[in-house]
Amino acid sequence: MRVVVAEDHALLRDGLTRLLAAYDCQVVEALAGTDGLAEALQRPDVDVAILDVRLPPTFSDEGLRAAIAARAARPGFPVVVLSQYVEQLYARELLASGDGAIGYLLKDRVADTTEFVDSVRRVAAGGTVLDPEVVAALMNRPRAQPVDRLSPREREVMELIAQGRSNGAIAAALVITEKAVAKHINNIFTKLDLPVAVDDHRRVLAVLTWLRG
């Protein structure tokens, strides 16, 4: 897996580079800001990008804007965005295209190296991975139809789907069978009016519907 990293903090940038290398990933470019970032994100040999939301020169949303621009030019280009805090607007804006292959993680999540690299790999493979704290913040806001149709258990399953969990991991977390998880997920697809499609694609659409709701 070939990766572009954009992180202004030198220690974290170096740490990410070393961490990814330890897991057989090649960091092809490690940038401290937006200089050269647009070009790096257009490289055809890059599998995924890891970007800090806030980059020089203004430290506002340069990384987010670079991610959105890259995905506009290359729909579905995998991007993992790192943030110091939960910023709901950024998460919704990043997911707005509906193409999947998006990760939104808090920087604290990097401390669990195995989980972090696994999240990057899932995004590179087209999945959507949201930090549990981001999911919790988004779930606490008022909801509108069709999300209101979900039962409390289905909302628990939906939260874990948004975190990028597999059916087996959801079953373990909720102490139920994988068959029960599959039934809940099918109910979620039906209640959110999602058309028949590959289940991985419908999981992404379910997350997007949840966030927009």
Give percent above pLDDT 70 in the chain.
Answer: 87
Least confident of 115-119, 123-127, 184-188, 191-195: 191-195
Q: Which of 98, 131, 164 is the last residue of a domain?
A: 131
* 136 within domain boundaries: no
Look at residue 72 and tell me whether its pLDDT is greater than 90. Answer: no
Residue range of the domain that includes 207: 142-212
- pLDDT higher than threshold 70 for residue 173: yes
- Give the pLDDT score at 212: 62
* pTM check: above 0.95: no
Same domain, 119 and 47: yes
Look at residues 105, 131, 157 and tell me which one is the last residue of a structural domain: 131
Helix axes 167-174, 178-191, angle to 10 degrees: 110
Rg (CA), the chain: 17
Does residue 98 sit in the same domain as residue 66?
Answer: yes
Considering the domain architecture, whether residues 40 and 83 belong to the same structural domain is answered as yes
Query: Are 77 and 157 within one domain?
Result: no
At 39 the pLDDT is 94
Residue 92 sits in a domain whose CATH number is 3.40.50.2300
Q: Which tops the pLDDT comparison, 79 or 60?
A: 79
Model confidence pLDDT, tens digit, residues 87-113: 766 777 777 766 778 898 988 878 889
User: Do residues 127 and 152 both lie within one domain?
Assistant: no
Instruction: Give the count of domains, the chain.
Output: 2
192 pLDDT above the threshold of 60: yes
pLDDT of residue 119: 92
Residues 6+ apart with CB under 8 A from 53: 61, 63, 64, 81, 82, 83, 84, 87, 90
Confidence bin at 196 (pLDDT 50/70/90): low
For residues 27 and 102, state if they share a domain: yes
Cα–Cα distance measured from residue 85 to residue 149, given in angstroms and rounded to the nearest whole number? 30
Residues 147 and 125 in one domain: no
At residue 176, the pLDDT reads 93
pLDDT of residue 144: 54
CATH code of 195's domain: 1.10.10.10
Residue of 58, 96, 95 whose CA lies nearest to 80? 95
Last residue of a domain, one of 77, 111, 131: 131
The pair of three-digit structure tokens given for residue 1, joined into one six-digit string: 């897996």
For the cut 60, the answer to whether the pLDDT of residue 37 exceeds it is: yes
Residue (of 146, 145, 116, 108) closest to 20 by Cα position: 116
- Residues of the chain with pLDDT > 90: what percent? 42
Q: Which residue has the higher pLDDT, 21 or 54?
A: 21
Mean pLDDT of the chain: 85
